[in-house]
Amino acid sequence: MSKVRDGILPDASADRAERVREARSRMPLAAHAQLAPPGDQDVVALLEEQGRERIAELLPFRHGRMLASPFAFYRGAAAVMAADLATAPGTGLTVQLCGDAHVSNFGLYASPERRQVFDLNDFDETWPGPFEWDVKRLAASLEIAGRGNGLRRKRRRAITTATVRSYRLSMAQFAAQSTMEVWYTRGEVQPGLPRLKEALPKASRATTRRVVEKSRSRDSAHALGKLTVVEDGQPRFASDPPLLVPVHDLAPDLAEVLGDWADRILVQYRSTLQADRRVLLDRFRVVDLARKAVGVGSVGTRAWLMLLLDEAGDPLMLQAKEAVDSVLAAHLPGPTFDNHGRRVVEGQRLMQASSDILLGWQRTTGVDGVERDFYVRQFRDWKGGFEIEAVDDAILEMLGQMCAWTLARAHARSGDRRDIAAYLGAGERGEGVAGSAGGGEGAEFDEAVADFAVAYADKNERDHAALAEAVASGRLPAASEL
């Protein structure tokens, strides 16, 4: 069994073929097509359980966002899919999972060298587990998005199959590389996007260029202009309750001593940064704080924006996002962390090729007196992505393959890439990976996961309908932001 524990991989001298045979015995390639019946699973009850520790006034907005479409529901239902995936045996080929690897959780951001890169960008659910969980979540997201965008069945099938094939062949490529080559590999966006002409028809190129160019404008200065107003010569967060609520509205007494309080809560976060980055952080002072509702599945968890200025008045905006148990932890064994923010940060650093220089964690006593864990990062540091509901099929296919390559690279960093490649079978025409058991299966995994994606998209539609029924009956509240 290919287990990863504290970064230690199986002995290279062990019999890889035997390990792969064991994995195939537990989970044959064709078995990945199967979706076990959900039994008496109550999806609405699961959402209710998640909501118990969240901010009550924001839960209607979470449900409203999930109600918008089956794809929006899927984005917020990582806990539902984790429970579904746990019913399958699993390969036992362990990697660091994203835990929520749907197509909208990949995107653009800035590397520390100020290069534009494409990578995973959401790690709230990161946890060790079988590699196929992430692959299936990605594939199902593409099938669901394709349905929402009106693509025909055969076109959706072609996209999901190509995505899984990209993962399989990319893993074979990483298996052939040295450990250091894998570690330094990253998806850097080339200036001028020269590969667009090869990858996309002309009609799709302009959309892609706009997304890439727009992301470069999204930084702290841009956020300052969008989210703040000037009061008494000082920028302050604008009030837009309940989605953006400045601290002086939530806790007026605290606002009077904001500087001292903010300095105290940043002490632990500062200690999680490298020494040179502490010097950078020390150039800034906190001038305002606001609670902001973010994402779809995350709505209701606590997320704070911190506005900092240097001595020249130039801004730095940080986001502190609450970190709770991963939805995977209830179904998979894993390590013990003294801080869930640390779990998120360490998982992110392991999976991403380049991470935010100000990524860290902290434990904070909130305005309600309760201690909670948070991870901290820059807000909108060239972050960008596609509006999946509006893209054409060519862009969706390109995104699927880019996401698959990225996911394979992330898994290759934390798991045994050669075991996974051998298990999958690399060949298109019967050529296998050295040490593989049986060799020439090639596309069997691709087709099986594509079948799974169809079955799961059907279930997701039923789950979305269950949410709609719960809202209509008054069991769950929902609010529109329009």
User: What confidence tens digit (pLDDT) does each residue in 283-314 have?
Assistant: 999 999 998 988 787 887 889 999 999 999 99
User: Same domain for 392 and 463?
Assistant: yes
Nearest CA to 463 among 33, 57, 152, 144? 144
The residue among 10 and 30 whose pLDDT is bigger is 30
Instruction: List, for residues 364-381, the tens digit of each pLDDT value.
Output: 877 677 889 999 999 988
pLDDT (mean) for 183-195: 82
User: Same domain for 259 and 174?
Assistant: no
Assess if residue 293 is contained within a domain. Answer: yes
The rounded Cα 314 to chain-centroid distance in angstroms is 30
For residue 212, the tally of other CB atoms under 10 A from its CB is 18
Predicted confidence at residue 14, as pLDDT, reads 58
Q: Which residues make Cβ contacts (< 8 Å) with residue 352, sequence separation at least 6?
A: 119, 120, 410
Number of domains the chain is built from: 2
pTM of the model: 0.92
Instruction: List, for residues 269-284, the tens digit of each pLDDT value.
Output: 999 999 999 999 999 9
For residue 264, the tally of other CB atoms under 10 A from its CB is 12
Assess if residue 482 is contained within a domain. Answer: no
User: Same domain for 132 and 278?
Assistant: no
Q: Sorting pLDDT into bands at 50, 70 and 90, what band is 449?
A: very high
- Separation between Cα atoms, residue 468 and residue 465, nearest integer Å: 5
Name the residue range of residue 430's domain.
16-215+387-473
Domain final residue pick, 338, 359, 378: 378
Residue 143 in contact with residue 453, Cβ under 8 Å? yes
Assess if residue 8 is contained within a domain. Answer: no
Q: Are strands 244-246 and 285-292 parallel, antiparallel or unpaired?
A: antiparallel
The residue among 70 and 1 whose pLDDT is bigger is 70
Cα 161 to Cα 29, 397, 455: the distances in Å are: 14, 10, 14
The residue among 439 and 26 whose pLDDT is bigger is 26
Assess if residue 478 is contained within a domain. Answer: no
pLDDT (mean) for 346-363: 96
User: Same domain for 358 and 401?
Assistant: no
User: Same domain for 371 and 391?
Assistant: no
User: Same domain for 352 and 393?
Assistant: no
Assess if residue 268 is contained within a domain. Answer: yes
Nearest CA to 171 among 3, 5, 416? 416
> Could you tell me how many helices (H) and strands (E) the chain has, helices first?
19, 13
User: Same domain for 419 and 453?
Assistant: yes
Q: Which residues make Cβ contacts (< 8 Å) with residue 362, sequence separation at least 6?
A: 265, 266, 268, 269, 272, 320, 339, 341, 373, 374, 375, 376
The H-assigned helical ranges of 234-288 are 247-250, 252-255, 258-271, 275-281
Domain final residue pick, 312, 343, 378: 378
- Separation between Cα atoms, residue 375 and residue 360, nearest integer Å: 6
pLDDT of 226 over the 60 cut: yes
- Separation between Cα atoms, residue 86 and residue 283, nearest integer Å: 47
Nearest CA to 362 among 349, 352, 372? 372
pLDDT of 260 over the 80 cut: no
Assess if residue 6 is contained within a domain. Answer: no
User: Same domain for 373 and 424?
Assistant: no
User: Same domain for 187 and 282?
Assistant: no
Predicted confidence at residue 268, as pLDDT, reads 87
Instruction: List, for residues 409-440, the tens digit of each pLDDT value.
Output: 999 999 999 999 999 996 544 344 444 444 44
Assess if residue 394 is contained within a domain. Answer: yes
Instruction: List, for residues 82-105, the tens digit of each pLDDT value.
Output: 999 999 899 999 999 999 999 999
Domain final residue pick, 378, 400, 429: 378
Predicted confidence at residue 251, as pLDDT, reads 77
